[in-house]
Amino acid sequence: MQRYFGDRSTAVSVVDLVEHFRGEMNKVTVYRILSRMEAEGIIHSFSGSDGLKWYAACKQCTNHSHYDHHPHFQCKVCGMIECLEISLPIPKLKNRKVDTEIILLIGECETCAS
Amino acid sequence: MQRYFGDRSTAVSVVDLVEHFRGEMNKVTVYRILSRMEAEGIIHSFSGSDGLKWYAACKQCTNHSHYDHHPHFQCKVCGMIECLEISLPIPKLKNRKVDTEIILLIGECETCAS
DNA sequence: TTCTTATTGCAATTAGGTTGCAATAAGAAA
DNA sequence: TTTCTTATTGCAACCTAATTGCAATAAGAA
């Protein structure tokens, strides 16, 4: 599982992971390893526009700065989701304290747009 | 149901709606009325950070500009979600065409922060 | 080896959401 | 009003993501 995320820059849905490891590893085990790896700061999770849970390898994340979320980009054609290594300014709102923002940009990836 | 959204500026999760109308209306009916009202441009939906489906009354939405999504704000203490009538700039990405952004700001609302 | 702890598999369960179908309500036409 | 047609609702069953309990196994330490 570690190896699976090692050289992957895009995110994977849990459903795809369970499917990928079918025969090799039980569904429940996949879920458990994922939450363990997330707790250790190796991967991070977020829920896609479909409401499914997605996981991706952490690059600059540490155990501590794990929740400094970065934006994600999803291709509406092929469904692919990737992490964006940009940081967008968190807007100020009056009478509210904002400390996190969850951003999902949707469009077409390089492959699907051409 | 129309009345329910009429004077409400915050969003409601489907789970809460089903609970609210229990005894008065079947779960399936709640779901069906909601998707009908969404198709008519009266309300709009999005999925919260928990992966649940939320609905809120449309203010400037029309049947057509229904998908000009606006950001939402969620209080991490009480869980309340509200629509923000601000528009944030959609960032440009190289090699990708971005046409929508789903934004959820998370923090503390006025009531919970004080 | 023996004891203890962590990991895994399997079955069952919970929960959000959908579908099929029959029953009822609501309108239009006669 | 009566009849025909269409839309709305309730109920049971189902689908799928995710979780839990528990026994079985693997892994480490004493």
**What's the confidence (pLDDT) of residue B7?**
73
CA of B30 to C1' of D2 (A): 34
Residue with tokens 């090692």: A6
Q: What is the mean pLDDT of residues A49-56?
A: 89
End-to-end CA distance of chain A: 33
Mean pLDDT confidence for A28-49 = 92
Tell me the longest C-alpha to C-alpha distance in chain B.
53
* Burial bucket for residue B75 (CB in 10 Å: 0-12, 13-18, 19+): buried
Helices (H), chain A: 2-6, 14-20, 27-39, 110-113
Determine the residue of chain A that is closest to B49 in CA distance: A47
pLDDT at A68: 54
pLDDT > 60? residue A106:
yes
A90 confidence band (pLDDT: 50, 70, 90): confident
Q: What total of structural domains would you count in chain B?
A: 1
> Within 10 A of A19 (CB to CB), how many other CB atoms are there?
12
Chain B residues at the A interface, defined by Cβ less than 8 Å, are 47, 49-53, 71, 73, 75-76, 84, 86, 88, 90-91, 93, 95-110, 113
Structural domain including A28 reads: 2-113
Res. A67 pLDDT band, cuts 50 70 90: very low
Judging by DSSP bridges, how do beta strands A53-57 and A43-47 pair with one another? antiparallel
Strands B81-83, B72-75: pairing is antiparallel
Residues A101-114: what's their mean pLDDT?
A: 90
Report pLDDT for B87. Answer: 81
> Which range has the worst mean pLDDT, A6-15, A62-71, A100-109, B60-69?
B60-69
C-beta contacts of B62-68 below 8 A and 24+ residues apart: B66/B41, B67/B100
Q: Residue B71: give its domain's CATH number.
A: 1.10.10.10
Percentage, residues of chain A above pLDDT 90? 47
Q: Which residues touch strand C (CB under 7 A)?
A: A 25-26, 28-29, 32-33, 36, 51; B 14-15, 27-28, 31, 35, 52-53
Residue B75: pLDDT over 80: yes
Q: Is the pLDDT of residue A23 over 50?
A: yes
Mean of pLDDT over chain B: 86
Residue B88 scores a pLDDT above 70? yes
What's residue B20's pLDDT?
94
| Residue A33: predicted pLDDT | 96
Nucleotide nearest to B52 (CA to C1'): C16
